[in-house]
Amino acid sequence: MTHRKSLSRLGKWLPEDEDALKGWLKGFASKAAARPGKRHPVIDEFAELIADDPIVRMYLTRMIDEAPRTGGYRVHHLETVEQMLFLLNAVMTYAPEFDTTAFVGCPIDAILDWSMGTPAGFAAFRHPPINDMLRKVLTAWCEFLSSEASMQVINDPPSGWKCAAARGLTRIDDFEHDPDHPTWGFASWNAYFTREVRAERRPVAAPDDDSVIVSPCESTPYRIARNVRAEDRFWVKGQPYSIRDMLAGDPSADEFVGGTVHQAYLSAYNYHRGRSPVSGVVRRAFNVAGTYFSEADPEGEDPAGPNNSQAYIAHVAARAVILIEADDPTIGLLAVVPVGMGEISSCRIAPTIKPKARLRKGDELGFFQYGGSTCCLVFRPGAVAAFALGAVPEPETPEPPLVLVNSFLASSKPA
pLDDT digits (tens, 9 = 90+) for 220-238: 898 999 999 999 998 877 8
d(CA 201, CA 258): 36
How many structural domains does the chain have? 3
276 and 248 share one domain: yes
107 and 247 share one domain: no
Compute the average pLDDT of residues 109-137.
91
255 and 385 share one domain: yes
Q: What pLDDT does residue 309 have?
A: 80
What DSSP character marks residue 341?
Answer: B
Compute the average pLDDT of residues 296-323.
76
d(CA 167, CA 183): 13
Q: Under a CB-based contact definition with an 8 Å cutoff, are residues 31 and 286 in contact?
A: no
235 and 364 share one domain: yes
332 and 344 share one domain: yes
What's the chain's length in residues?
Answer: 415
Out of 298-312, 321-335, 396-410, least confident range: 298-312
pLDDT at 292 over 60: yes
pLDDT digits over 66-87, tens only? 887 665 555 667 889 999 999 9
d(CA 247, CA 315): 8
Residue 2 falls within a domain, yes or no? no
235 and 369 share one domain: yes
375 and 390 share one domain: yes
Q: What is the chain's Cα-based Rg?
A: 21
118 and 53 share one domain: yes
Residue 3 falls within a domain, yes or no? no
Q: Under a CB-based contact definition with an 8 Å cutoff, are residues 240 and 228 in contact?
A: yes
Compute the average pLDDT of residues 138-147.
92
